[in-house]
Structure 1
Amino acid sequence: MLSITRLSRASQWVLTQQKKITPLLWLITVLPLASLSFTSLAANASEAEPALKTQENSVTDGPYVFLDKTQKDTAYWICQSELKQTPITKAQLTRPASCGELPEPHLHTQVATVEPDTFTHVSKIVALSDVHGQFDVMINLLKAHKIIDTNNHWTFSDGHMVMTGDMFDRGHQVNEVLWFLYALDQEAQAAGGRLHLLMGNHEQMVFRGDLRYVNERYQVSADLLTRSYDALYNKDTEIGQWLRSKHTLVKINNILFMHGGISPEWVERKLHISDANQLFRQHLDDKKADLKKDDLLNFLFFTNGPTWYRGYFKNELKESDIDNILDYFKVEHIVVGHTSQEQVLGLYHNKIIAIDSSIKEGKSGELLLIKPNKLSRGLYHGELVTL
């Protein structure tokens, strides 16, 4: 890049030469040099600050697995913006040679099994949120804290990992995030642990066809597969079926996890976790207008419900209100994502813990590590800081 010092010297030389030559020669010889200096600076500044969005020349994406009779034995891939397909053999997917490093998952046998939503005597927990398609940041963070190994396999033994929603939208590697978590779900259970993948508001939006925040590159995949983007993850797809088996809230030891938060209205309605989780699964694909017509569903799916609520961050509640909510669930902490922070943050004397650490920006992030009587911020490069 042309430095300011070099530009200054060039300008001084220009002024010196102006005194030595005629006005006509000034216009012919010197002025273009000065213009060139300023043009070079602008060009280099432009290179240093690229546009926030860049249009890719080609898209590599996948796999996509559909479960209808005519497609269930085939995996579909987008390789350099071309649609390709490979056979699924003994539940193993194999990508085409021209498809870069796309995931090659082994399909679950019990993919649609609904797990319990309450666990006790869990020795260690890790939680993060709002990945929004930032696969590389998520992987680097999990490796730094030895949740996964160098080959992206589970190494957290019998620990539980909680992802409090919003894998979809914004970022450019949503499918990589989903297939990684799909494999990790299976590996965690095999090791005696668990992956709890909770539904966020962006999962619900995509399922309902609200595609305002989908990264533009996925239009290529949708066009080549002749489906709308939401249909790439509906109930007749492998990933869609798997996601629809997941909970919206989970209680582990003395901690309640969800995407947005629990409002006092939940307590007033005297709702139970399992009932709410079942209603969420039953109505994930309902149209927004239909959800709005039902009083309970309108509460669960929108503003004051557990995937949208932001009241902890608006000074709406006193600590006594928080205590009432904690007492209702018989927990000591509530962990939420949804509302972006610069770091994992404890509120109300750590009774509320916010874990949306802005991973969606694609630069860094944090996670929450929980061990008996200890809450820690897990920093991006592996350091631990007591919360």
Structure 2
Amino acid sequence: MKRTIFALYGATLLTFATQASADTPNQQASVATLNDGPYLFDSNSGQQNAQWICAGKLKQTAVANKRLTRPNHCGELPEPMLNPQATEVLADSYQGVDKIVALSDVHGQYEVLIKLLRSNKIIDQDNNWAFGKGHMVMTGDMFDRGPQVNEVLWFMYRLDRQAKAAGGQLHLLMGNHEQMVMRGDLRYVNDKYQTASTLLNRQYQELYGKDSELGQWLRSKHTIVKINDTLFLHGGISQEWVDRELTLDRANRLYRENIDKTKPELKQDELLNFLFFGNGPTWYRGYFKPDFDTQELANILNYFKVKRIVVGHTSQTRVLGLFDNRVIAVDSSIKLGQSGELLLIEKNKLIRGQYDGTQTPL
């Protein structure tokens, strides 16, 4: 499939320049130092080009041999190799996996993510996959809040290819913030990206639309996966899921098929309203409420035939086990940009991987 970037028209650039001239000096300075990209979109033309923002200016480079090469004076923006299998929809259940690592809610904090993965030897010093045949689960919320969302996405895009090549697997699960961005709910988008979308002449959600490389990749991903005896997702499974007798396959398919619908459209359908909001898997916080009924948890574990559920979404200061580790919370507040933790499961041992690489039993 061929990809290109749509150039901005001179009038658009003139309009932005006129607006920028009225900004305060600090606002102008922030635009002048802005680096972002690359962004790649489908086109019917034969030429493939990537679009970048370098020091506040729009630049374009050709894609050669599926490699994106950043322009000069563009900081350390990603130079990804395109993956022809990026949009393959994988299985949502796995058995016989020897080691698993899980984390959540990165929210654009690329530097913290890299340090955490390096210190726990999930990636090497060059940020390449070093986890062998292991499976890595990111339980959602890469978008919003932080200033390096695009860097996080391209990094995960590369790990996706490298993990598979090594016999492992990356499971990139959709969280509520991925869903919010896809449908144009931009309340939590970092100011940097509001400026970038103006320069790129696209609404922010369109930078990850169905015609974009990253958007197509994201739309192929599941919301829930089961690995060995553990269920992974962003928010949590409620009793309502069990009452509705939903399956992983059906739910994941409905998420993929409907992720671009607006909030009013989703709310018109009873099942989609449940899946995308309220007690649905990407928003549910019931496990963390003082009146949570543990019999409900037993019903859920029995329904999925698992020993535990791993979730993000509800922030903690560390990886935390609840109900005798039958629920494990992996949102360790990476979004604050200071530190974070991850969960390791090796031969049924549950381990906290800390920011400095120290590993302790959960």
Per the normalisation by structure 2, the TM-score is: 0.91
**Deviation digits for residues 189-235 of structure 1, max 9, x if unmatched?**
00000000000000000000000100001122111110000000011
Is 1:96 the counterpart of 2:71? The answer is yes
Aligned residue for 1:61?
A: 36
Q: CA deviation at 1:318?
A: 2.1
Instruction: Write out aligned runs for 1:233-252 (5 A).
Output: 233-252=208-227
3-state secondary structure, aligned to 1:187: helix
SS in 1 for 2:241: helix
- The CA deviation string for residues 88-129 of structure 1, in whole angstroms up to 9 with x for no partner, is 011110000111111100101112110000000000000000
Letter in 1 for 2:37: G
SS at match of 2:343: strand
Give the residue type in structure 2 aligned to 1:185: D
**Residue type at the aligned position of 2:112:** V
RMSD, matched Cα = 1.2
Q: Distance in 1 between matches of 2:183 and 2:194?
A: 17
* 1:84 equivalent among 44, 47, 59: 59
Larger Rg belongs to: 1
Residue 208 of structure 1 is matched in structure 2 by: 183
Structure 2, unpaired ranges of 5+: 1-28
After TM superposition, the structure 1 = structure 2 runs for residues 105-254 of structure 1, keeping only pairs within 5 Å, are 105-254=80-229
Percent sequence identity over aligned pairs: 62
Cα distance between partner residues in 2 of 1:149 and 1:276: 35
Distance in 2 of aligned mates of 1:311 and 1:96: 48
Q: CA deviation at 1:56?
A: 6.4
Deviations 1:150-206 (A, max 9, x none): 000001000000000000000000000000000000000000000000000000000
Match of 1:363 among 323, 338, 342: 338
Tell me the equivalent position of 1:15.
Answer: none
Gaps of 5+ in 1: 1-53
User: Does structure 2 conserve the Cα–Cα contact (< 8 Å) formed by 1:76 and 1:85?
Assistant: yes
Task: Kindly indicate whether the alpha-carbon contact (under 8 Å) linking 2:133 and 2:167 is maintained by their aligned counterparts in 1.
Answer: yes
The equivalent of 1:278 in structure 2 is: 253
For 2:347 and 2:301, locate their aligned partners in 1 and report how far apart those are by CA, in whole Å: 19
Match of 1:40 in 2: none
Distance 2:151 2:184 in 1: 21
Structure 1 residue 372 displacement after superposition: 1.3
SS across alignment from 1:178? helix
- Cα deviation per residue 1:47-70 (whole Å; 9 max; x = unaligned)? xxxxxxx95652100000011224
The aligned residue for residue 259 of structure 1 is 234
SS for the counterpart of 1:266 is: helix
Conserved? CA contact 1:359–1:365, under 8 Å: yes
Aligned residue pairs: how many? 334
Q: Is this contact kept in 2: 1:65–1:72, CA < 8 A?
A: no
Please tell me whether the aligned partners of residues 66 and 72 of structure 1 are also in contact (alpha carbons under 8 angstroms): no
